[in-house]
């Protein structure tokens, strides 16, 4: 009671903030009026003046009023002039309103400016962009697609170019050199994925500082910030490459899963048909009624999207009985009942948790001759059995354990393949979750459809083998698995920036998440003109059929008046259904969905014309205004019709916001049915009241009123909270990975930009030798005993050198520092001898290459280990342990091992790389050896291999010995040369990449123009 009263008298916090901004707005307007008397050259000179003042100690905050006034005055001067962008010319007619000045200040202060559609967010961003670009650092603006990035960089870029700033735009498929030029500009436009992938390539894949493209992460503005930081945050950015060997068995198991799927479909259809018949005659609460309800519960567990089930649940009494029975089945006290239900089915689907599990009957059906074929063995029991078996000696026990472990891992892989196939068949629906469309070569591919925007996400793939399962289901070519080479979440990428701001039309509903995750406050900026849109209460129907009929009737009615209509749909499937209905009625219309995304700009441009009917998925041209003619404004403006409520209120607000821009008239209404997923899955008992309201309703009748709308919004809040917890949990896991990533990438960048990488190499040498000597020592200061045999073994495997340690008495306690110093001195002396006759620049290149190669190879392996760890720790919950804590503890151990392994491999490679044949021979001749070892023979063989390559005319400068050992040296056909026996080449972990092959980094470009 008190809060609403205080708000009435003092206004909301948002209103008070806007009020506090008014004096600054007035000051900007006064300064802009003063600038109107300046000449063009004087105004343009302001940019250099501001930069000079910053250099003398003033801050960006000191310059804010003058900088904003400069931008506003520039816009005024551009009015009436032609501005060319995207191969077309328009007359500039924009000068920032006061509300846009407020929005610009919110963004500059590191907040989110919520401005309704049509309020000029694109122009608003120019104010803080100009101000922050005065710092000389790269400022970036992130848009949702390449089209908007290019359009805004050219259209709004006219302001910056007028004032002497440079503007760049990063586009997909742009070569590295051109990308670098865009980042060198004062202001750079692009998409979040382009910026993120450039960061990953810079920090995780570049082999020299000349390959780095990004400058810094100073200030970024994110347009449609909710779409990028909320909707896309669940999918991390991943650069992947092909695995060395494909291990999937989706093609093998697909026929079996297809058979068991059809078997379950037949079973569920039989059960639901029997339940229907029983319900026709059964008395409520009788045994026959209970049996029917029990059968319905079975079908809900086996085929939750069964259309007959959805129809039956329209009866309120049946719905309540089913919910009560499901609570009974899933209670802890009735686990045997639950297990009995599972055993009657072939597999069980958990729609809410998006999971699938094969039952005992399903396993027997898939493998009748071996029911245990798809049972995961108890690995601990197997290991204990091997240990206790006295018939095995120690060697046999080790071998048996290895075989048991291999069998266990194989079973895990098989069950994972089957589970993913079941999910593909039962939970992922074509034209809703994905489409099958031809690629540039005409080959059919499974393409993900973004659930929030309706856009086809070409190039993105579902993780954990699900995409391959869908490819098997749809009988298209199954792509090979990939391995992660570099990855980062959207959240952690944008947290790299010193300052982050954003703008959108819909952020208030996610204000808590923006604050908790990013530390961003959301401010609602008032509209320049009052919004006069009429939002009608939801219309709730019993069935989808009744809902669609009502939608078509309303379209006819509104269209007859000449008003344009925008129909928003959640999926491609719904848009196609409504399109068929309209075609049957011979009503002209346009469809915009993932199948027709190429026509987006043209369709949205015409959506505001008189009589236009546009069906669009949620993609609906965000970033492009639907402008109305005077005729349409007089008729009442654009009518927005939602074909359902979406999981998020924010998506609904986006759809409503497509009309009534800048004070234009308009209206909106949503149509909902009890068969919609939102009500079916998440309304739960809140639909009890609605159930009573719909009793006796005809299919064509609807429930209307504020109460129904509020209940639907409550269901949306549940979904929003569930999705927030998923994103938050994902971030908690990635924060562990992020700390490791920061350490590795900082180490990597230090190597790249260092003028003398030898300093870093010697640091690693000193630290590793000292640590190793200490690990092999026992005792206390001044009286250590060192394990001589283990130390000599480590030295022998790490360095191809002879160490004279006879001056140290390992039988007596000693100081370990002199021992470590002697080892380091010997290694440094041999290394300097090795490089004495080599060009310094080549040495620097090789030193960087030695360190980066070891770092990259082991980091990629570490990423795989971390992926496996994250999957495995989920089982910790069974042991009443928090999986996240387990993940953190084991991740710490893995990272400690990674750091040790990186240092070890770098040192091992110090003497295994040379720039020429002469360097190798010189190095070997100058290293004294007490006796010829296997390693001597190896080096002699490598010299012969290198000579053979030289005879073939190959360039052997800067050849790594490890790389050389992997080359397939074939003599010319004209002359057969018998080479001396050499060690068998090391097999590559991945296929050799040739110049015209796609680059393994995932950029889509050829290897020779990317990382070749």
What is the chain's length? 1012
C-alpha 243/C-alpha 514 separation (Å) is: 37
464 closest CA partner among 933, 819, 870, 841: 870
Dihedrals phi, psi of 317, to nearest 5 degrees? -65, -40
Contact 319, 298 (CB under 8 A): no
Contact 629, 609 (CB under 8 A): yes
C-alpha 121/C-alpha 822 separation (Å) is: 66
Dihedrals phi, psi of 345, to nearest 5 degrees? -95, 165
Q: What is the largest CA-CA distance in the chain?
A: 103
**Across the strands, what pairs with 488?**
237
DSSP 305: T
C-alpha 261/C-alpha 252 separation (Å) is: 15
CB-side exposure of 676: number of CA atoms within 13 Å? Answer: 30
Contact 730, 492 (CB under 8 A): no
Six-digit token pair at 940? 């002699």
Q: What is the DSSP string of 582-619?
A: HHHTT---EEESTTSGGGHHHHHHTTTSTT-EEEEETT
How far is C-alpha 190 from the chain's CA centre? Answer: 17
First-to-last alpha carbon distance for the chain, in angstroms, is: 68
Six-digit token pair at 801? 């050198």
Six-digit token pair at 799? 């360095």
Q: Is 190 annotated as a binding residue?
A: no
DSSP 999: P
C-alpha 799/C-alpha 827 separation (Å) is: 8
C-alpha 888/C-alpha 438 separation (Å) is: 43
Q: Write down the residue that tokens 């098997």 correspond to.
A: 472
C-alpha 225/C-alpha 216 separation (Å) is: 21
Q: Is 121 annotated as a binding residue?
A: yes
For 301, the 3-state DSSP assignment is: helix
Q: Is 100 annotated as a binding residue?
A: yes
C-alpha 620/C-alpha 607 separation (Å) is: 10
Six-digit token pair at 302? 């086996």
Contact 556, 582 (CB under 8 A): no
For 243, the 3-state DSSP assignment is: coil
**Across the strands, what pairs with 190?**
142
Contact 957, 949 (CB under 8 A): no
Rounding to the nearest 10 degrees, give the CA dihedral for residues 417, 421, 422, 424: 140
Residues in Cβ contact with 90 at an 8 Å cutoff, skipping those fewer than 6 apart:
82, 83, 155
Residues in Cβ contact with 18 at an 8 Å cutoff, skipping those fewer than 6 apart:
102, 523, 525, 526
Six-digit token pair at 161? 């170019």
C-alpha 911/C-alpha 930 separation (Å) is: 18
How do strand 666-673 and strand 638-642 relate by DSSP bridges? Answer: parallel
Q: Is 100 exposed, middle or buried (0-12, 13-18, 19+ CB in 10 A)?
A: buried
Per-residue CA distances from 912 to 460, 605, 713 (Å): 39, 63, 66
**Across the strands, what pairs with 11?**
none
Q: Is 120 annotated as a binding residue?
A: yes
Q: Is 454 left (phi over 0), alpha (psi -120 to 50) or beta?
A: left
Residues in Cβ contact with 103 at an 8 Å cutoff, skipping those fewer than 6 apart:
113, 115, 119, 121, 124, 503, 525
From the annotation, which residues make up the binding site? 100, 118-122, 625
From the annotation, which residues make up the binding site for ATP? 100, 118-122, 625
């Amino acid at each position: 009671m008190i809060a609403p009263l205080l708000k009435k008298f003092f206004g909301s916090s948002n209103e008070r903030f806007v009020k506090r901004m008014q004096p600054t707005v007035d000051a900007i307007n006064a300064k802009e009026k003063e600038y109107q008397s300046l000449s063009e050259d004087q105004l343009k000179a302001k940019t250099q003046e501001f930069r000079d003042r910053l250099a003398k100690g003033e801050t960006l905050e000191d310059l804010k009023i003058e900088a904003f006034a400069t931008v506003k005055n520039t816009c005024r001067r551009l009015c009436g002039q032609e501005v060319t962008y995207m191969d077309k010319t328009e007359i500039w007619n924009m000068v920032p309103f006061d509300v846009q000045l407020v929005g610009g200040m919110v963004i500059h202060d590191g907040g989110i400016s919520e401005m309704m559609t049509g309020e000029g967010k694109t122009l608003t961003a120019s104010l803080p962009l100009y101000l922050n670009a005065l710092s000389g650092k790269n400022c970036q603006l992130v848009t949702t697609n390449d089209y908007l990035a290019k359009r805004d960089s050219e259209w709004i870029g006219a302001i910056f170019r007028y004032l002497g700033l440079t503007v760049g735009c990063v586009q997909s498929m742009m070569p590295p050199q051109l990308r670098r030029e865009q980042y060198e500009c004062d202001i750079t436009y692009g998409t979040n994925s382009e910026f993120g992938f450039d960061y990953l390539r810079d920090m995780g894949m570049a082999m020299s500082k000349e390959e780095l493209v990004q400058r810094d992460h100073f200030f970024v503005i994110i347009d449609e910030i909710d779409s990028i930081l909320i909707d896309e945050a669940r999918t991390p950015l991943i650069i992947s490459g092909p695995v060395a060997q494909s291990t999937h068995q989706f093609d093998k198991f697909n026929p079996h899963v297809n058979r068991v799927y059809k078997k379950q479909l037949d079973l569920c259809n039989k059960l639901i048909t029997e339940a229907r018949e029983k319900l026709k005659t059964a008395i409520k609460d009788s045994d026959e009624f209970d049996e029917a309800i029990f059968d319905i519960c079975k079908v809900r567990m086996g085929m939750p999207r069964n259309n007959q089930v959805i129809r039956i649940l329209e009866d309120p009494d049946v719905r309540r009985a089913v919910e009560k029975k499901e609570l009974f089945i899933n209670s802890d006290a009735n686990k045997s009942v639950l297990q009995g239900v599972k055993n009657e089915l072939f597999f069980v689907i958990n729609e809410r948790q998006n999971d699938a599990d094969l039952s005992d009957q399903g396993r027997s059906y898939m493998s009748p001759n071996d029911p245990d074929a798809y049972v995961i063995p108890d690995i601990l029991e197997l290991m204990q059995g091997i240990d206790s078996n006295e018939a095995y000696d120690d060697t046999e026990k080790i071998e048996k354990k290895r075989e048991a472990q291999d069998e266990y891992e194989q079973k895990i892989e098989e069950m994972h393949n089957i589970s993913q196939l079941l999910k593909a068949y039962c939970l992922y629906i074509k034209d809703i979750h994905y489409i099958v469309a031809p690629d540039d070569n005409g080959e059919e591919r499974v393409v993900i459809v973004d659930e929030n925007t309706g856009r086809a996400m070409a190039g993105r793939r579902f993780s954990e083998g699900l995409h391959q399962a869908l490819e098997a289901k749809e009988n298209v070519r199954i792509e090979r698995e990939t391995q992660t080479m570099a990855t980062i979440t959207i959240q952690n990428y944008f947290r790299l920036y010193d300052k982050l701001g954003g703008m959108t039309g819909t952020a208030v509903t996610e204000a808590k998440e923006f604050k908790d995750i990013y530390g961003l406050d959301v401010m609602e900026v008032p509209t320049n003109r009052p919004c006069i849109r009429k939002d009608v209460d939801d219309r709730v129907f019993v069935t989808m059929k009744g809902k669609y009929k009502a939608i078509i009737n309303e379209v006819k009615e509104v269209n007859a008046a000449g008003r344009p209509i925008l129909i928003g749909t959640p999926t491609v499937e719904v848009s196609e259904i409504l399109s068929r209905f309209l075609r049957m009625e011979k009503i002209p219309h346009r469809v915009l969905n993932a199948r027709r995304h190429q026509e987006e700009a043209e369709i949205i441009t015409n959506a505001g014309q008189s009589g236009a009917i546009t069906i669009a998925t949620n993609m609906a041209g965000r970033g492009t205004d639907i402008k109305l003619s005077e005729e349409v404004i007089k008729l009442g403006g654009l009518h927005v019709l939602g074909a359902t409520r979406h999981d998020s209120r924010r998506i609904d607000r986006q759809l409503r916001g497509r009309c009534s821009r800048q004070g234009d008239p308009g209206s909106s209404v949503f149509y909902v049915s009890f068969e919609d997923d939102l009500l079916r899955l998440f309304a739960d008992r809140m639909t009890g009241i609605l159930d009573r309201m719909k009793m006796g309703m005809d299919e064509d009748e609807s429930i209307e009123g504020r109460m129904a709308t509020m209940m639907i919004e409550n269901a949306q809040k549940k979904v929003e909270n569930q999705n927030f917890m998923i994103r938050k949990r994902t971030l908690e896991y990635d924060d562990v990975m992020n700390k490791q990533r920061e350490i590795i990438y900082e180490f990597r960048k230090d190597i790249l930009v260092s003028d003398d990488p030898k300093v870093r190499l010697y640091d690693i040498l000193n630290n590793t030798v000292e640590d190793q000597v200490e690990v092999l020592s026992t005792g206390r200061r001044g009286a250590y005993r060192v394990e001589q045999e283990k130390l000599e073994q480590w030295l022998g495997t790490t360095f191809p050198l002879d160490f004279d340690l006879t001056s140290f008495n390992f039988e007596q306690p000693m100081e370990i520092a002199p021992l470590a110093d002697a080892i380091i001195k010997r290694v440094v002396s041999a290394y300097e001898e090795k490089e004495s006759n080599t060009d310094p620049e080549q040495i620097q290149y090789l030193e960087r290459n030695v360190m980066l190669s070891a770092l990259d190879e082991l980091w990629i392996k570490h990423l795989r280990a971390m992926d496996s760890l994250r999957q495995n720790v989920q089982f910790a919950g069974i042991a009443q342990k928090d999986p996240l804590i387990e993940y953190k503890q084991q991740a710490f151990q893995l990272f400690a091992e990674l750091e040790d392994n990186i240092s070890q491999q770098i040192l091992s490679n110090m003497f295994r790389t040379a720039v020429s044949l002469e360097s190798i021979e010189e190095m070997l001749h100058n290293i004294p050896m007490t006796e010829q070892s296997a390693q001597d023979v190896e080096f002699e063989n490598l010299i012969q291999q290198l000579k053979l390559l030289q005879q073939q005319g190959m360039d052997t400068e800067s050849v790594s010995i490890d790389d050389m050992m992997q080359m397939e040296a074939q003599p010319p056909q004209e002359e057969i040369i018998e080479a001396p026996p050499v060690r068998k080449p090391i097999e590559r972990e991945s296929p050799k990449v040739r110049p015209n092959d796609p680059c393994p980094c995932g950029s889509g470009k050829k290897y020779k123009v990317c990382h070749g």
